[in-house]
Amino acid sequence: MAEDKKVADTAEDTVKAQTEANETNAEVSEAVETVKEETPKVDPKEFLANFDWDKYEEGIEKVEDSKLNEFEKLVAENFVDTADEEVVTGKVVHMTDREAIIDINAKSEGVISLNEFRYNPDLKVGDQVEVLIDIREDKTGQLVLSHRKARTIMAWDRVNEAHDKEEIVTGFVKCRTKGGMIVDVFGIEAFLPGSQIDVKPIRDYDQYVGKNMEFKVVKINHEFKNVVVSHKALIEADIEEQKKEIIGQLEKGQVLEGVVKNVTSYGVFIDLGGVDGLIHITDLSWSRINHPNEVVELDQKLNVVILDFDDNKSRIQLGLKQLEKHPWDALGDEINVGDKVKGKVVVIADYGAFIEVAEGVEGLIHVSEMSWSTHLRSAQDFVKVGDEVEAQVLTLDREDRKMSLGMKQLAPDPWTDITSKYPVGSRHKGIVRNFTNFGVFVELEEGIDGLIYISDLSWTKKIKHPSEFVNVGDTLEVEVLELDVDGRKLSLGHKQTTENPWDKYETEFAEGSTHKAAVTDIVDKGATIVLNDDITAFVPSRHMEKEDGNKIKKGEEIEFKIIEFNKDFKRVVASHTAIFREQEERNIRAAKKRQTAQAEEAATTLGDANAQLQALKDKMEADAKKK
């Protein structure tokens, strides 16, 4: 053995030297040095033992080219190039507590930690395993291999091949994740979306964890190393064939058995065996329901009828209530016009409420039939959904399946003795219920409303809108002004409950009277003055001029003369100018009077003088005649 070792060492040194001189001979020498196993034609060990290297180096013995070529071929076929990062198959030749020794037909055996074989606890000597050369030579000169890296490379090759060939692969469902599951396929973690687990929605993902399932690789992202698999894709093909067969046999009116697949707020999806149909919420029950889960539940089996479908039968409309007789058809003669019925409020609208008097049989109580009041309100003021109410049947149409009901008919009509309770001139208290632009509606009692026109709210205030005078909900004292029994109308007044202040003010503020007041506001056409809490007078612009020619200003307190007082129209007009203008007129009249008196006196004096002259003339003429 020592002699053989010496020969081998000498051969190794010779090969290194020859490598520097001749690259081809170096490859042959290295191959010869690493030969270990028997080949079909030449035993490398025997070749090395019988080879005379001294003669070869001296050039005495030359190897035939054919033999060298044959030997190179054997080396290429039987030995692994450790510089190549290919995945190769090795054989477990020895195992320790921590490592496995793998023979890959290289210069030396490789070492792999047993941690890389945790998935295979039954690993034993003689097993074939896939490995990748991780380190050609560590610090100790040992060849280090990796089974994990080899598995990863091979796994990606297998996954890509399965994707390209659309092959079925087996994977292990490891755990749940957001939106789906994590599946181990060939050692690679792939994503299984929740929508790709089955053709029907899955509500419990945990039932699949820890199971082996078959999948198809549907998507690979090479950049991010992501793999997406689908179990649904395996069964869709079979379901598609089954679906075509079912669709081909579908007919309107056909009754089929299905399973509740999904429940939404607007309806229920039914699985008819690979074909889905929808029962709209209105076709679930003859009675009104708020949500389909009041009638059905998930995974429930039930019979349904086909109501309609589109041209390609991809949208199938189903019905459940149609399998039962319509409640109106089952309604007997126990309900007639004039009968009292009890029911539950199922729907409320502004115009009224729908009452279910029997399952699937509804009647409408219009808001006008809820109270004797002529003042319209919302139905929500009287009832709410779920209330049990009693009503009277007003109309009944079994053909059109319509029924109208009334609540107020069960109470006495308050207008029956209206003339005795609310005669004209009587005074009462009522509650303000509503406004209009022209007045206020006051409720004296339930069913008795009266109208106060805006002009009958106050004797003195000028009101543009009732809200300036009163609020909804206020209590007002009113007097009945008019009563129309046939028209069910009541005219009321509020100002009539107090004394008309204009009666006493007619004397106090009579035309020609003067009063001192302050100007409260000035407008384009004049100004306003407040004479007292009830009386406001208007001063036209031409009557605002003072004696010195200036105009009266806002806030100025001065004398005014009432030049107009109209009780019927509540109109008072005042003037400051009239005060000093009247004095001027008086002065003018006095001056004219004096002028007239003076003229009259002068005329009298002149007349007397003329008379005297005439008398003197007459005397002179008489005397002349006598002569």
DSSP string, 316-385: EEEESGGGS--HHHH--TT--TT-EEEEEEEEEETTEEEEEEETTEEEEEEGGGT-S-SS---GGGT--T
Q: Where are the alpha helices (DSSP H) in 79-166?
A: 147-165
List, for residues 27-40, the tens digit of each pLDDT value. Answer: 434 433 444 344 44
Phi/psi class of residue 427: alpha, beta or left (left: φ > 0; alpha: ψ in -120 to 50)? beta
| pLDDT the model gives residue 39 | 40
Domain boundaries 249-323, corresponding CATH code: 2.40.50.140
Q: Which residues of 519-545 are buried (b: 16+ CB within 10 A; e: fewer)?
A: beebeeebbbbebeeebbbbbeeebbb
| pLDDT the model gives residue 481 | 93
| pLDDT the model gives residue 375 | 63
The third-level CATH classification (topology) of the domain covering 87-151 is: OB fold (Dihydrolipoamide Acetyltransferase, E2P) (2.40.50)
| pLDDT the model gives residue 13 | 42
Q: What angle do CA 226, 228, 229 make, to 5 degrees?
A: 145
According to CATH, the superfamily of the domain at 327-410 is Nucleic acid-binding proteins (2.40.50.140)
| pLDDT the model gives residue 61 | 54
Instruction: For the full predicted model, state whether its pTM sits above 0.85.
Output: no
Neighbours of 382 (CB within 10 A): 19
According to CATH, the superfamily of the domain at 418-497 is Nucleic acid-binding proteins (2.40.50.140)
**Is 216 strand, coil or helix?**
strand
List, for residues 523-539, the tens digit of each pLDDT value. Answer: 888 998 888 877 888 99
The label of the residue with tokens 């069910």 reads 488
Same fold, 87-151 and 418-497: yes
Q: Can you list the residues of the chain whose pLDDT is less than 70?
A: 1-85, 107, 134-142, 237, 312-313, 374-376, 583-592, 594, 597, 599-608, 610, 626-627
| pLDDT the model gives residue 493 | 92
| pLDDT the model gives residue 19 | 38
CA nearest to 313, candidates 404, 265, 246, 394: 246
454: its two tokens: 């805006």
The third-level CATH classification (topology) of the domain covering 166-235 is: OB fold (Dihydrolipoamide Acetyltransferase, E2P) (2.40.50)
Domain boundaries of the chain, sorted by first residue: 2-78, 87-151, 166-235, 249-323, 327-410, 418-497
| pLDDT the model gives residue 36 | 39
Neighbours of 279 (CB within 10 A): 28
